[in-house]
Amino acid sequence: MTMTEARPAEGATSSSPATPPSPVGQAVVDSADHKVLGLVLIGASLLLFLVLRAVGSALGAEMISAGGQVVGDNSRRFYSLYETGIILLWVAPVWMGLATHLLPLQIGSSRLAFPRVQALAVWTHLAGAALFLAGHVIDPPPGIGLTGREPFQAPLGGINDGTNLILAAFLLLGLATLLAAGNLLTTALTLRTEGMSLGRMPLFTWGVVAGAAGSLLATPVFLASSLLLYLDLHFGGSNLFADSRGADLVWQKGLWLYGRPEALLLLVPALGAACDIVATAVRRPLSAPPPPPVPHGLKAKLPPLPGLVTPLAGHVLAVGALFAAATFSLLAWVQDRQTIDAVILPTATIPTALFAAAAGVLVLLWLTTLREGSVRPTLALGFTAAAILVAAAAGLNALVAGLAGVEGSELGQGMIELVTVGVPTLLAFGALHHWAKKLFGAPLSGPAGALALLSSLGGTLAIGIGQSIAGYAGVEAHAREAHGDARVGFAIAQVGHVLLLLAGILIALDVARVMAARRGGDTAPADLTDGVTLEWAAPSPPPPENFTELPEVRSAAPLADLAAAKAAGPAGAGRSASKSASKSASKSARKKG
């Protein structure tokens, strides 16, 4: 055996018997292993989800309590914390954590391009989250305004400490997003294993790439606006609070970043994850829908369309839809939300509708694939179906609102709960179940997952529908009191908040249980029948170097190829046998000199 046959274990933390093991906390803080960093973010975001859901429940109770005295004078603080936090502290970090953990595994790499940069991004994000929470605890945020997305009057007596902290949190969270997005994108572009061309990358990785590319363009705008606001307020000014067109634009296009565009961008990796969940359920890549029937006379004149109905066509179509979704999410933000010609009021502008169309293409691909394949039902697939159901409910709601001419009310909040919070939350829970063996070393509990699925689906629908009912009853967004039908709507929404809190507790406890059971446990060898993409070729949980051996990559579904070759017999297996990654690396090195 030559030296080159051993896979370089970069990123591995070898421990000699003489060295005493470091405490878990220190090992986590010191670690630049993408799997540890991903788990840190996922764990932190799950905890923050519970906190924010508790805050949402308190707000819901405020609306249905007589006299509205549950949160008292703190309603502004609670609204700001819940509505900004649910995107910044839950949806964004949970998907960043999943991408950090899974992307190198999916492309056959042993590490991220810059492990220490990712560690910096993760800890910066957590520091930003801590500052954001502290800012809301110390002072109500009059300087930021409710949710940081509209220009408000300057705070009397100047900026308070809470606003200062929240602004610093915005800068840190934006910086962390930027660092992570650049690192993930670089990893996907440069550290793919041999044979893994761009076209063969799994769709979750493509979703991360599209989302990261959009974030690299959108987040600097958020940072620039935060910098402007910080300079203005910190030195005693109030120019960005003046009721001028300029101030409006800075608020809407800069600080509203984490409202529409970032939330839609965060949906892109979620959609990519759903693609992989569906492909895994049928053990093959996505299929394109069959072409429409062509009249017999015309058919003779048309040239044949080779490859249109092949699995590759479905994969390529999905990649195109993911990139289209990322592009339309940026366009949705570029449009001025007050001057646009909205096609469907209250929240759907033309680019938003185009985003929905791109997502609709993906749903069509999923349904085609499921119809043509032999489906192995899983909880992850159930969460994906729930997300489709919620998205369909939101579309129907938008249509009804457009016909009824309702806009700018609590209805918009309901739509945000359905689309920008509900769908990525359901898909995040689905992704945690789908990749649990790779993330935590063992699958999550089926009964607990089923209960979480039911309660999260019911909760999301209840919040969205309840708030929409209040909107149809004429309640303005962020109102403090409700009567009649609106009160019924808020009561339904309150049930939804509690159900989602329950779902979050179930998932968090299940993850904690599996993680506790895993400590000190053995690594299970890879089960190549678990899925079709490369991450399933890694042991569970993956060792520091990720893979002990890698199959040859010849398509977007290398493990399906391997299974087909094995099924074809010794000759086929011989042609496409599992090949040591070190051998392929050394072969490539010889080729390159």
Partner 1 sequence: MTVAAPLALPPAAQVLERTRSRNAAVVATALYGLAALALTAALIGAYTAFRSGVSPWPPAGVKKENYFGTLLLAASGMLMLTAEWMVWAVIHDIRRQTAQASGLAAFLLLAMLNGVLFTIDEADFGAATHAYGAIFYAFMVVAVLTQLAALAAVVVGLARTAGRQISPTEPQLARVVAIVLQVAALTWVMVWGALYAGSR
Q: How far is the CB of 177 from partner 1 (least distance, A)?
A: 10
Residue placing its CB nearer to partner 1 in the complex, 183 or 455: 183
Q: How far is the CB of 385 from partner 1 (least distance, A)?
A: 36
**Per CB under 8 A, which region of 220-228, 296-304, 324-332, 540-548 contacts partner 1?**
220-228
> First vs last Cα of the chain: how many Å apart?
21
Q: Looking at residue 550, what DSSP letter applies?
A: B
Half-sphere exposure of 118 (CA within 13 A, CB side): 32
Q: Looking at residue 539, what DSSP letter applies?
A: -
191 makes contact with partner 1 (CB under 8 A): yes
Q: Which residues pair with 524 in a beta bridge?
A: 540
224 makes contact with partner 1 (CB under 8 A): yes
Instruction: Answer positive or negative: Cα dihedral of 263, 265, 267, 270.
Output: negative
Q: Which residues pair with 540 in a beta bridge?
A: 524
Q: How far is the CB of 208 from partner 1 (least distance, A)?
A: 14
12 makes contact with partner 1 (CB under 8 A): no
Using the rule CB under 8 A, which residue among 216, 353, 389, 528 binds partner 1?
216
> Using an 8 Å Cβ cutoff, are 183 and 98 in contact?
no
332 makes contact with partner 1 (CB under 8 A): no
302 makes contact with partner 1 (CB under 8 A): no
Q: How far is the CB of 153 from partner 1 (least distance, A)?
A: 16
103 makes contact with partner 1 (CB under 8 A): no
Using the rule CB under 8 A, which residue among 126, 172, 250, 563 binds partner 1?
250
**Per CB under 8 A, which region of 42-50, 226-234, 293-301, 508-516 contacts partner 1?**
226-234
Residue placing its CB nearer to partner 1 in the complex, 231 or 404: 231
Nearest to 347 by CA among 359, 355, 337, 362: 337
As a whole number of angstroms, the distance between CA 46 and CA 36 comes to 15
Residue placing its CB nearer to partner 1 in the complex, 72 or 593: 593
254 makes contact with partner 1 (CB under 8 A): yes
- Residues numbered 416 to 445 that lie near partner 1 (CB under 8 A) are none
| CB atoms near residue 508 (< 10 Å) | 16
As a whole number of angstroms, the distance between CA 530 and CA 138 comes to 49
Place of tokens 């042609």: 575
Q: How far is CA 122 from CA 89, 354, 583, in A?
A: 12, 32, 34
**Per CB under 8 A, which region of 214-222, 270-278, 488-496, 554-562 contacts partner 1?**
214-222
223 makes contact with partner 1 (CB under 8 A): yes
**Per CB under 8 A, which region of 89-97, 240-248, 426-434, 504-512 contacts partner 1?**
240-248
Using the rule CB under 8 A, which residue among 104, 162, 182, 443 binds partner 1?
182
Using the rule CB under 8 A, which residue among 26, 197, 220, 525 binds partner 1?
220
231 makes contact with partner 1 (CB under 8 A): yes
236 makes contact with partner 1 (CB under 8 A): yes
**Per CB under 8 A, which region of 142-150, 403-411, 421-429, 579-587 contacts partner 1?**
579-587
Q: How far is the CB of 213 from partner 1 (least distance, A)?
A: 9
Q: Which residues contact 353 (CB under 8 A, 6 or more apart)?
A: 343, 344
Residue 543, SS3? coil
**Per CB under 8 A, which region of 216-224, 317-325, 507-515, 552-560 contacts partner 1?**
216-224
121 makes contact with partner 1 (CB under 8 A): no
Note the helical H segments in 519-576.
558-567, 570-575
Residue placing its CB nearer to partner 1 in the complex, 351 or 464: 351
**Per CB under 8 A, which region of 61-69, 179-187, 411-419, 494-502 contacts partner 1?**
179-187
Phi and psi dihedrals of 21, rounded to 5? Answer: -65, 140
Using the rule CB under 8 A, which residue among 27, 29, 137, 189 binds partner 1?
189
**Per CB under 8 A, which region of 36-44, 134-142, 239-247, 346-354 contacts partner 1?**
239-247
> Using an 8 Å Cβ cutoff, are 84 and 92 in contact?
no
590 makes contact with partner 1 (CB under 8 A): yes
> Using an 8 Å Cβ cutoff, are 53 and 105 in contact?
no
Using the rule CB under 8 A, which residue among 137, 198, 249, 577 binds partner 1?
249
Note the helical H segments in 235-349.
245-249, 261-282, 296-301, 311-334
As a whole number of angstroms, the distance between CA 274 and CA 381 comes to 8
Residue 569 region by backbone torsions, left for phi larger than 0, else alpha for psi between -120 and 50, else beta: left
Helix 115-138 / helix 34-64 crossing angle, nearest 10 deg:
20
Residue placing its CB nearer to partner 1 in the complex, 188 or 401: 188
As a whole number of angstroms, the distance between CA 194 and CA 176 comes to 30
Using the rule CB under 8 A, which residue among 197, 198, 246, 305 binds partner 1?
246
As a whole number of angstroms, the distance between CA 292 and CA 534 comes to 34
Residue placing its CB nearer to partner 1 in the complex, 82 or 170: 170
Q: How far is CA 161 from CA 123, 173, 473, in A?
A: 23, 18, 38
Tell me whether the omega of the peptide bond preceding residue 140 falls within 30 degrees of 0, making it cis.
Answer: no
Tell me whether the omega of the peptide bond preceding residue 541 falls within 30 degrees of 0, making it cis.
Answer: yes
Based on C-alpha coordinates, what's the Rg of the chain? 25
**Per CB under 8 A, which region of 218-226, 270-278, 299-307, 529-537 contacts partner 1?**
218-226
292 makes contact with partner 1 (CB under 8 A): no
178 makes contact with partner 1 (CB under 8 A): yes
Using the rule CB under 8 A, which residue among 127, 227, 309, 454 binds partner 1?
227
Q: Which residues pair with 579 in a beta bridge?
A: 550
**Per CB under 8 A, which region of 62-70, 113-121, 305-313, 420-428 contacts partner 1?**
113-121
Q: How many positions of this chain bind partner 1 (CB under 8 A)? A: 53
List of residues contacting partner 1 (CB under 8 A):
3-4, 7-8, 10, 113-114, 117, 178, 182-183, 185-187, 189-191, 216-217, 219-221, 223-225, 227-228, 231-240, 242, 244-247, 249-250, 253-254, 582, 585-586, 588-590, 592
